[in-house]
Amino acid sequence: MIHRNESCTSGQVPMSYLCCLIYILEEWTGVEYLEDYLNYVAYLLWVFTPLIIVFILPGLILLLLYISIIFLYVYKRKNELKEAYSNDIWDGARQMVATLWDGHARIWHGYEVHGLEKIPEGPGLVVFYHGATPIDYFYFLAKLLILKNRMCYTVADHFVFKLPGFKLLLDVFGVMHGPKEECVKALKNGRLVAISPGGVREALFSDETYVLVWGNRTGFAQVAIDAKVPIIPLFTQNVREGIRTLGGIRLFRLIYERLRLPLVPLYGDFPVKFRTYIGDPIPYDPNINAAELSGKAKAAIQSLIDRHQKIPGNVFRALMERFETQQKED
């Protein structure tokens, strides 16, 4: 009987290069039955590949953000000489980036927005439910730019400003740290400003029941009162089915509360149906305080959720909604 070492060296019995390589690795590592171990590893990879994919796909959103940033840097370089002769050289860049995101929205989520006519011509404070990522809000911004040629300034968490390479993107699209004075100033200048009262905590620790995680936050309401502007509620159907978090695991909640960093793993990026609904504006009322206005805004968001979102959310059902020929009232 001829052993593998003889066949690999003498060529008396034809063997595949793979078998010879496995034999060499066995000799080199001193591990017997290496082929069986490798077969087991290959089996595990086959079993867990779908799970690996759903954790990798959310990274595509970050990739799109960096593509947007690269485009802005190229655009900036190309238009440096025109800057002194133009009121705002970034208008064309914003439209191009909006087109990129709108294309992604249409292809991946069949994105729709309903109630865009409710956005006032003047200033207003947009208040929205925060999904695991603000991908639906990016889509809304793109639609707003393309269809109404309007920007919406955005209040973001402090950690966003620490992300490498993001400064230009944040500056061009009017992303703010969110001091009340800065928000009031923007609104008094006639701009739209958007904020999610639930913020990162809602993004990470809300779930398929779409519970609002606002706590006792009233600062956004005080901003609307001080600027004398309406609040516009906004909610996106199935946003929790697109990307989900492991925020239900107690360890991740403890890490966030201690470090204030969004270290909760995300998974999914499923191509579910997204529909953004804009509710009726809550008009400025000088006779109510911030707590009362915050309660009204929360009730308006909850009303949009109750009307347009099946609870609990279901990924398969949200996928099937991509094939609906008409919008259905929930």
218 Cβ contact partners less than 8 Å away, ≥ 6 residues apart: 290, 291, 293, 294
260 token code pair: 């204030």
Catalytic residue selected from 114, 130, 158, 177: 130
Residue 88's CB is within 10 A of a number of other CB atoms, namely 11
Cβ density class 268-292: b for 16+ within 10 Å, e for less? bbbebbbbbbbbebbebeeeeebee
Q: Is the peptide bond before 123 cis (omega within 30 degrees of 0)?
A: no
DSSP state of 267: E
Residue 130 falls in the annotated catalytic set: yes
Q: Is 177 helix (H, G, I), strand (E, B) or coil?
A: coil
- CA 312 – CA 251 distance, rounded (Å): 24
212 token code pair: 């609002």
Alpha carbon of residue 175 to chain centroid: 15
Q: Is 150 helix (H, G, I), strand (E, B) or coil?
A: coil
221 Cβ contact partners less than 8 Å away, ≥ 6 residues apart: 231, 290, 291, 293, 294, 297
* Active site amino acids: 130
